[in-house]
Amino acid sequence: MSIDSQSGSELSAEALAELVKLSTPKHVAIIMDGNGRWAQAQGKPRVMGHKAGVKMVRRAVSTAREMGIGSLTLFAFSSENWRRPDKEVTLLMELFFTVLQREIKLLHKNGVRLNIIGDVSRFSQRLQKQIAAAEAKTIDNSSMTLNIAANYGGRWDIMQAAQILAKKVESGEMNSSQFTEQALNAHLSMQNQPEVDLMIRTGGDYRISNFILWQAAYAELVFTDTLWPDFDECAFKQAVATFASRQRRFGLTGCQIESLKKTT
């Protein structure tokens, strides 16, 4: 038996069985929401929430490594967050810069590969250089991949891949019939990583806010009221436990899934 995966590639029975049996997700994506409200609840400026949030990023990375999660993708700044007041955007950019500078050594020491996803061309030259240097330093690391989504939008990701293919068709490098799901998939961010198994959103809202769309087509969604600066190791493990308790069906029936689980 085989099914079409969300990326359009055929999935063998073995691969499907592996997916339905997965108790630790291979790829977790987190919408780290609630920093501003966390700070405001304590009468502090919103930026204090972002600073507190950084500590939890470090915690989340170490928890993910400990759990054997291969890819962790964190939503740091969306393509829509430019709409925020200039002051907050500037502070977030500064924070991003200082955190990158400060954390890269520890990430490297721990064998983490850092990958920034999103349209970085809108960032300052200084920040772009910092990003390129951090990515280059950790490129050969393999204990875990940490994707930081910065100026990222799920629609942007699909569009930039579609544009690459459209240009190839235009130049005659490929036919329009080769403009397939697999071809598009190969040009998306994180194309060499497993698709998202688990997407978590902190902060109490129930939406995706233009985060990963294509690569999360079959992700389990876990929403929690916990605000990001309070999302500790225990809360992360709880979300993974929720994932493990779900029956992922990929279009099959529950009965088919149960018999697949019995296969070795």
Binding site for Mg ion (CB under 5 A): 33
Whether 81 is catalytic = yes
238 binds ligand IPE (CB under 6 A): no
Contact assessment for residue 8 and residue 239, using Cβ atoms and an 8 Å cutoff: no
Residues contacting 89, CB < 8 A, separation 6+: 81, 82
**Encoded amino acid at 245, one letter:** S
31 binds ligand IPE (CB under 6 A): yes
Applying CB under 6 A, among 11, 32, 165, 240 the residue interacting with ligand IPE is: 32
243 binds ligand IPE (CB under 6 A): no
Closest CA to 156 of 85, 97, 77: 77
Whether 86 is catalytic = no
How many residues in the shown chain lie near ligand IPE by CB under 6 A?
17
Applying CB under 6 A, among 5, 16, 29, 36 the residue interacting with ligand IPE is: 36
Applying CB under 6 A, among 7, 35, 138, 226 the residue interacting with ligand IPE is: 35
C-alpha count within 13 angstroms, C-beta hemisphere, residue 90 = 3
Applying CB under 6 A, among 72, 92, 165, 222 the residue interacting with ligand IPE is: 92
Q: Could you say which of 81, 110, 141, 210 is catalytic? A: 81
Q: Interface residues with ligand IPE (CB under 6 A)?
A: 31-37, 75-78, 81, 92, 203, 205, 207, 209
